[in-house]
């Protein structure tokens, strides 16, 4: 069959100025070395589907998943009935995508405006079959799969390989439409090949999404920073906290370096606090370690004269939004111990894993004592809140029977220890001050590594080993999972976690199976890591009165760090200057760019179980938006010494060396982006 176009060229033809109707989600191809001059036609970056999938569960067989040996015998959709394993099955949801505001991830990567015309141009083909409706695919790898299915569908139409009975479909095409379809098919294939050629062999396909999301976020932050000085500070805070820039190499900025050098006092070049690096700091002996007996254990693991009030509080242990502040008040400031005790009783974990009650309470009291009560936010109150939130997420109906008892134990334990011995300052502060911890952990997830070390070290204290009756293999498996989950609470890993989860979910949406199998360690731990990460970022999803208390606490902790930085003559970190920080704008930005995209993706995974959480999040966001003072923000400092000193330098982005190389390859690589996106020019500090 002659298709009317040259399909046998040695070099792939670039798409040129032809608009591609089939796919409404590809960025404009702007490589000047291949595109005709003046080709500026934009391709939006989201792909519409029709129903938002509902996820049902294939119940877990405790023996179907081996944390050490990987996949079970059930490794394909066809084998589900014969050998059931844990998995999420995508089923149609007749409801529409809903009227809720979508996150920035669904904006066009090129111009942030997915026009109605672009939405209409999408074609319903074999990409989704009959299971999906108005749902958008934004992760590049899933888009590639969807595009390849379009290519296959078009090829079937063009070549009619299925026999004479299907010839009518080809006959209905005019010569013009036939050639157009052939051209579009080749364009689809060209684009897929372009995407696949950019994949680095030592990185996962979800890095394509991570790089895209980082690039889009940085553009959003650049726009926000140009609006006001407070917006500039919020942008810098979000970028410095939630974007991992460890692999970036910034271009030299002599003026900034000179300014930083002049401000840096001599003592910053020396170690803060000398100690023995081979020892785990922060672990100390406590008097209660050996004094508890089984018969003396109280109803909720703690002694209190307000047991009735505490009992009433803990009636909500299985509800989202437990008032952990009242639990602390009624437990003599032992919220973590009594919350964990209640969770373990609810889940019967102490019987399942033969944990002696006195050992459990001793460990929990020891662990709670190693959280610093003088730290405003990262204390045992926060640990208890994250543990209880994790407990609720584990119980979501969509995930019923997905996780084994050991995995549940690991997740709740990880949540409990995830911030133990937190000093109330950020990782970057510890790195900038050459702290002992930063040296010990080579500047990589400094606090998270320390929390793990302390948490596991406390198990070695007298009568504290709550895992004493686990088998060796169970202990090894649990330790591996806990390490993965706690390291995932490093906020600089946020975008990678989000990209991993979203890529996994969307990839299954565009496959014919529609089944998200969780029968191997990589997939299952990915869900668990994001679960604990969601719990760690759950404050804005709680009732407004609870959320506001958490906000006050974190802002106070930031202010204390800012005071320490001021005393040391350091640049004050974004949002840490109590004189200039905008609480309301910081929370709106935090929700818009971090919390909402994460919870939006989680809600997609467990649909429809998290819809109320998203509703509360949107209400809280709107409340903080309404509280932003309606007055002009003070102008930026211009570098002449006027203004607020530390807050005076405008947040901006510069191309990294990797970005320049990617630019030479062409922006049309679509959703790829740079190695780590755009790099903010840090003005010292965190």
Sign of CA dihedral 352, 354, 357, 360: negative
For residue 20, what are the CA distances in angstroms to 16, 149, 157, 448, 667?
Answer: 10, 16, 18, 47, 17
Tokens of 11: 């070099």
Residue 260, C-beta contacts closer than 8 angstroms, at least 6 positions apart: 571, 683, 684
Chain Cα centroid distance, residue 176: 47
Write out the H or E segment, with its range, that includes residue 675.
Answer: none
User: Per the annotation, where are the binding residues for Zn(2+)?
Assistant: 382, 418-419, 536
Sign of CA dihedral 466, 470, 472, 477: negative
For residue 302, what are the CA distances in angstroms to 339, 365, 368?
Answer: 10, 9, 12
Tokens of 362: 């001793």
User: Per the annotation, where are the binding residues?
Assistant: 378-382, 418-419, 536, 587
In degrees and rounded to multiples of 5, residue 62 shows phi and psi of -55, -25
User: Per the annotation, where are the binding residues for AMP?
Assistant: 378-382, 419, 536, 587
Sign of CA dihedral 432, 437, 443, 446: negative
Residue 51, C-beta contacts closer than 8 angstroms, at least 6 positions apart: 92, 93, 94, 95, 131, 132, 133, 134, 135
Sign of CA dihedral 564, 569, 570, 571: positive
| Residue spans of alpha helices (H) in 315-398 | 324-330, 335-346, 349-352, 357-369, 380-394
Query: Could you identify the residue written with the tokens 């081979």?
Result: 278
With CA atoms as reference, report the closest residue to 244 among 438, 496, 575.
Answer: 496
Query: Has 596 been annotated as catalytic?
Result: no
Q: Are strands 47-50 and 134-137 parallel, antiparallel or unpaired?
A: antiparallel
Query: Could you identify the residue written with the tokens 């149609």?
Result: 92
In degrees and rounded to multiples of 5, residue 383 shows phi and psi of -60, -40
Interior/surface letters 233-242, b for 16+ CB within 10 angstroms, e for the rest: bbbbbbbbbb
Chain Cα centroid distance, residue 545: 25
For residue 504, what are the CA distances in angstroms to 324, 517, 523, 601?
Answer: 33, 10, 8, 11
Burial class (CB in 10 A: 0-12, 13-18, 19+), 513: middle
Q: Which of the following is catalytic: 14, 330, 370, 378?
A: 378
Sign of CA dihedral 125, 128, 132, 136: negative
CA separation for the pair 297, 541 (Å, rounded): 34
Helix, strand, or coil (residue 641): coil
Determine contact, residues 307/342, Cβ cutoff 8 Å. Answer: no
In degrees and rounded to multiples of 5, residue 597 shows phi and psi of -60, -35
Residue 603, C-beta contacts closer than 8 angstroms, at least 6 positions apart: 609, 610, 611, 613, 614
Determine contact, residues 29/187, Cβ cutoff 8 Å. Answer: no
Beta bridge partners of 87: 58, 517
> What single-letter DSSP state applies at residue 513?
S
CA separation for the pair 494, 405 (Å, rounded): 27
With CA atoms as reference, report the closest residue to 420 among 465, 392, 466, 455.
Answer: 455
Tokens of 409: 């134990």
CA separation for the pair 108, 130 (Å, rounded): 26
Chain Cα centroid distance, residue 389: 16
Catalytic positions, please? 378
């Amino acid at each position: 069959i002659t298709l009317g176009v040259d399909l046998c060229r040695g070099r792939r033809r670039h798409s040129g100025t032809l608009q591609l109707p089939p796919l409404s989600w590809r960025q404009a191809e702007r490589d000047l070395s291949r595109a005709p001059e003046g080709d500026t036609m934009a391709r939006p970056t989201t792909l519409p589907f029709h129903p938002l999938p509902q996820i049902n569960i294939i119940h877990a067989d405790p023996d179907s998943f081996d944390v050490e040996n990987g996949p079970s015998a059930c490794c394909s959709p066809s084998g589900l009935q014969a050998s059931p394993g844990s998995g999420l099955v995508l089923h149609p949801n007749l409801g529409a995508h809903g009227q809720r505001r979508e996150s920035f991830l669904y904006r066009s990567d090129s111009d942030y405006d997915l026009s109605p015309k672009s939405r209409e141009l999408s074609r319903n083909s074999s990409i989704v079959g009959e299971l999906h409706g108005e749902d958008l695919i934004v992760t590049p790898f899933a888009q590639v799969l969807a595009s390849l299915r379009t290519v296959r569908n078009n090829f079937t139409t063009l070549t009619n390989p299925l026999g004479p009975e299907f010839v009518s479909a080809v006959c209905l095409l005019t010569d013009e439409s036939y050639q157009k379809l052939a051209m579009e098919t080749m364009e689809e294939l060209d684009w897929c090949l372009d995407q696949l050629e950019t994949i680095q062999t030592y990185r996962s396909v979800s890095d394509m999404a991570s790089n895209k999301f980082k690039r889009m976020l940085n553009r959003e932050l650049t726009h926000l920073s140009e609006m006001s000085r407070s917006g500039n500070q919020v942008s810098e805070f979000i970028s410095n906290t939630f974007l991992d820039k460890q692999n970036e190499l910034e271009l030299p900025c002599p003026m900034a370096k000179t300014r930083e050098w002049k401000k840096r006092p001599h003592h910053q070049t020396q170690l803060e606090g000398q100690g023995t690096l081979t020892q785990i700091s922060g672990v100390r002996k406590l008097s209660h370690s050996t004094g508890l007996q089984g018969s003396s254990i109280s109803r909720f693991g703690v002694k209190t004269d307000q047991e009735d009030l505490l009992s009433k509080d803990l009636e909500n242990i299985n509800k989202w939004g437990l008032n952990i502040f009242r639990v602390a008040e009624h437990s003599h400031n032992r919220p973590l111990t009594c919350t964990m005790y209640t969770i373990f009783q609810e889940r019967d974990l102490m019987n399942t894993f033969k944990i002696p009650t006195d050992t459990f309470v001793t460990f929990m009291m020891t662990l709670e004592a190693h959280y610093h009560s003088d730290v405003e936010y990262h204390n045992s109150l926060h640990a208890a809140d994250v543990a209880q939130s994790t407990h609720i997420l584990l119980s979501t109906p969509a995930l019923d029977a997905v996780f084994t008892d050991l995995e549940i134990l690991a997740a709740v334990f990880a949540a409990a220890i995830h911030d133990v011995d937190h000093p109330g300052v950020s990782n970057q502060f510890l790195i900038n001050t050459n702290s002992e911890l930063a040296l010990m952990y080579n500047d990589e997830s400094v606090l998270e590594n320390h929390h793990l070390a302390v948490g596991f070290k406390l198990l070695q204290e007298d009568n504290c080993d709550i895992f004493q009756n686990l088998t060796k293999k169970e202990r090894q498996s649990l330790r591996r999972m806990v390490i993965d989950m706690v390291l995932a609470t490093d906020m600089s890993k946020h975008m990678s976690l989000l990209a991993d989860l979203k890529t996994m979910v969307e990839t299954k949406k565009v496959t014919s199976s529609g089944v998200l199998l969780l029968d191997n360690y990589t997939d299952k731990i990915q869900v668990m890591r994001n679960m604990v990460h969601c719990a760690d970022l759950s404050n804005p999803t709680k009732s407004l009165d609870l959320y506001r208390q958490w906000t006050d606490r974190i802002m106070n902790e930031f202010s204390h760090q800012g005071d320490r930085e001021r005393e040391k003559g350091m640049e004050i970190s974004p949002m840490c200057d109590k004189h200039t920080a905008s609480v309301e704008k910081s929370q709106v930005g935090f929700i818009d760019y971090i919390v909402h995209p994460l919870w939006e993706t989680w809600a997609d995974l467990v649909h429809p179980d998290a819809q109320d959480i998203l509703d509360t999040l949107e209400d809280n966001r709107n409340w903080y938006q309404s509280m932003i003072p309606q007055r002009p923000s003070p102008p930026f400092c211009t570098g002449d010494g006027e203004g607020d000193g530390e807050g005076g330098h405008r947040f901006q982005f510069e191309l990294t060396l990797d970005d320049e190389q990617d630019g030479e390859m062409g922006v049309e690589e679509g959703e790829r982006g740079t190695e780590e996106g755009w790099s903010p020019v840090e003005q010292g500090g965190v």
